[in-house]
Amino acid sequence: MIEKHLRMLRVRDDVSLEEEAVLLALISETREVPAKTNFIRAGQRLSSSTLLLEGMMCRHKDLREGERQITDLHLAGDFVDLHGFTLKRLDHHLMTLTPCKVAIVPHERLKSLSEHHPHLSRLYWFCTNMDAASHREWELSLGRRMAIARVSHLLCELRIRFELVGMTNGPAFALPLTQVELAECVGLTPVHVNRIVRQLRERGLADVRRGHVKILDLPGLETLAEFDPNYLYLEKLPR
């Protein structure tokens, strides 16, 4: 059930079979959630965290007139609100982008994990640190990268993250985002994103259409995006 989560963790550190059993036992139940559902609303009191098993979710914040910034995307295998364990409420919403299957992890069990399994506890601390690293990289994109580099950078990041959990097919992967959602990730308008998508295709860098991405020239795309995967912490080290 948590194979993708384990794959994502094991790229960064060893997780023993005993530890795997401990992680599996954190889950109290699984739930199916329809697409486009606000699964957790900002401010809501939390007593559990959510491990995404299947589908895609996002963190987002909205302005009064409805302008939305997606601050992170979550793929199957991600712990989407591990930070909610200590925060007890979120300052952002969590929404499903596709139909999702999620595992519920009660905070009591995470508390017990922190008391009895220091290595796993440190590994989860590392995970929230990785989230922060990702946010810094998105901040750099939103603040400084030109539009085409923002979109390219996101594609480079997603290619690696999907590959980690075994969801790429060579240079291609499914990306079930509407152009509006893609625009909300990179702080552009859908019109602008559509034009960037066309430029990426014309320059032979990437083909993005109807929920599918095919990277045509990875080195070219990475150069354009100034993509350096260091912020994804892909090295295996004792945490």
Partner 1 sequence: MRYFFHIQNGNGCTRDEEGQEFVDLDAARQSALTGIRSVLGEELMRGIVDLSGRLDICDADDRVLLSIPFTEAVLVQRTRMEQ
The residues binding partner 1 (CB under 8 A) are 146-147, 178-180, 188-192, 194-195, 198, 209-210
CA distance 2 to 24: 7
Minimum CB–partner distance for residue 179 and partner 1 (Å): 5
Minimum CB–partner distance for residue 203 and partner 1 (Å): 12
CA neighbor of 55 nearest in space, from 72, 37, 34, 76: 76
Q: Which pair of structure tokens corresponds to residue 51?
A: 């491990």
Strand partners, 74: 57
Instruction: Closer to partner 1 by CB, 136 or 209: give it.
Output: 209
Minimum CB–partner distance for residue 195 and partner 1 (Å): 5
Minimum CB–partner distance for residue 141 and partner 1 (Å): 14
Minimum CB–partner distance for residue 194 and partner 1 (Å): 6
CA distance 217 to 29: 42
Instruction: Closer to partner 1 by CB, 18 or 202: give it.
Output: 202
Instruction: Closer to partner 1 by CB, 117 or 192: give it.
Output: 192
How many Cβ atoms from other residues are within 10 Å of residue 36's Cβ?
Answer: 12
Instruction: Closer to partner 1 by CB, 131 or 181: give it.
Output: 181
Instruction: Closer to partner 1 by CB, 86 or 189: give it.
Output: 189
In the chain, which ranges are E strands? Answer: 29-33, 38-40, 48-54, 57-62, 68-74, 93-96, 100-106, 168-169, 172-174, 206-209, 212-215
